[in-house]
Amino acid sequence: MPKDNYENLKEKGKEISTLSSIATLLEWDQETKMPEGGAPFRAEQIETLSSIVHAAKTSDSFKKALEKLIDLKTGEILDDTLDDRKKGALRAFRRTFNQETKLPNHFVKKMAKANSEGIHSWQKARKESRFELFLPHLETIINFHREKADLLRFKDHPYDALIDLYEPEMNVKKLDLLFSELKPFLSKLTQKCKEKKEKKHSFLSASYPIEDQMKFCHFILEKMGVDPKRTRLDTSAHPFCLGFHPTDVRFTTHTSLTSFYTNISAIMHEGGHTLYELGLPAEDYGTPLAEACSMGIHESQSRWWECFIGQSASFCSFIFPYLKQAFPSQLRNVSEEDFYQAINHVSPSFIRILSDEVSYILHIILRYEIEKEFIAGTLKGKDLPKVWNEKMEETLGIIPETDAMGCLQDVHWSCGLIGYFPTYALGNLYAGALFETFQQTYPDWEKTIARGDLSQSLTFLREKIHHFGREHSPQTLIENATGKPLTSAPYISYLKTKY
């Protein structure tokens, strides 16, 4: 019996997804296991695979399969017998196809190689804190992305075209409005928290054996519901998560003897990403229904677990006795309240991933402002360290002493993720909206978490977010989940209540 049109499209999509997963596996290996000398050849491998994947996504055979089901120009669904989920998949398929076909294959191939080379140069520059080593690669990557924005086309601002790749239907106009509300509020709250009497939390920087840290991290992952048979945890310079398939998700953390809670935070953050990837419907693999809705929605899952749950008083109540058992000498004279205050301490940080919950989005706004200027052509790569430091002083009141603590701290620009940073801020806003609904849905959530039962969180996120994949846009997904359109109000209310 011949396959129907949707199943035929799904089969072609599965071939593309499988090829993409192989390219992703190479990227995971580059960040975790690859020897340093392998970088030049890895760039060639990724260049070749990226070209193959792009060719498959834009092929005539894929186009013909898609055209049987949806009008590529108007978006009209041509098969009314399909259910709403499959119609949602078709709209997402069309969106991706129309984006990919605007980018010539030779351009995709060259940019993939530049990004791979950029990662290697960034790693060296960051290690030596020498921005000049990364500068030529940064300038190349910026130029590629300015050209990319032109190829993708935009209405108001060239940066819109890049944001839209990571967060559909988001643009500079909407972000400027959200950030104009958040920036003064967060700056004022950060300063207000700084003025409070600082409690001692030197115990956080005591020496915690790495092996014992990792045992505790695995204990937390088990409580979160991360399946060890479908995941792998490693270490890297910058924690990340990559999903190849709902049965194979890789994630990393960064370890240090003297910052053990940073490790726990990273574990819960990347564990949140991992749970999302594991929660996507494997039966729909090869279609957008088995892909994350957006990077902002992805980030909402990681910040949910890291902050809204992981830094809550109820979670501290649960884990603190276990921490005392695991690290008796380091926590001998520390109370549960001391611990809770310490992990929620607010003080401006040079490093984004180490920043507190209140000032975190200020780090993102800084990067957003810089990226806009890069793409608009009003900021040159060579001026980045100076502008970065000026914005750090203006926004957070601190100036980095080295480039490694400043403009070289993030991997994103080196691997071509320009337009990605705003999704970190949106993730917090999405999480805030979801958390408000969660609290109303489960009024006993604090008591449940204090007992070590985190199942309510996972059930809520599975039902509201995970199983939908890319059936809806991010804004529609959140509105369906919460009953309200996205605003900054729930997140601001959450911070006001807590801090």
Alpha carbon distance 109, 114 (integer Å): 9
Q: How far apart are the first and last CA of the chain?
A: 63
Using DSSP, state whether 70 is helix, strand or coil. Answer: strand
445: its two tokens: 């959530």
Handedness of CA 319, 309, 224, 199 (dihedral sign): negative
Alpha carbon distance 386, 388 (integer Å): 5
Q: Order the strands of the 231-235 sheet from edge to edge.
A: 231-235, 248-253, 241-245
Residues 377/146, Cβ–Cβ less than 8 Å: yes
Determine phi and psi for 244, rounding to 5 degrees.
-90, -35
DSSP, res 242 = E
Query: Which residues are registered as beta bridge partners of 253?
Result: 235
Residues 272/305, Cβ–Cβ less than 8 Å: yes
Handedness of CA 319, 322, 326, 328 (dihedral sign): positive
Alpha carbon distance 375, 450 (integer Å): 47
Alpha carbon distance 273, 431 (integer Å): 13
Q: What angle is formed at CA 149 by the lines to CA 48 and CA 237, rounded to 5 degrees? A: 55
Alpha carbon distance 13, 9 (integer Å): 6
Helix spans in 336-488 (H): 336-343, 360-376, 384-396, 422-441, 445-450, 455-464, 474-482
Q: In the annotation, is 270 catalytic?
A: yes
Q: Name the active-site residue from 31, 167, 270, 471.
A: 270
Enumerate the active-site residues.
Answer: 270
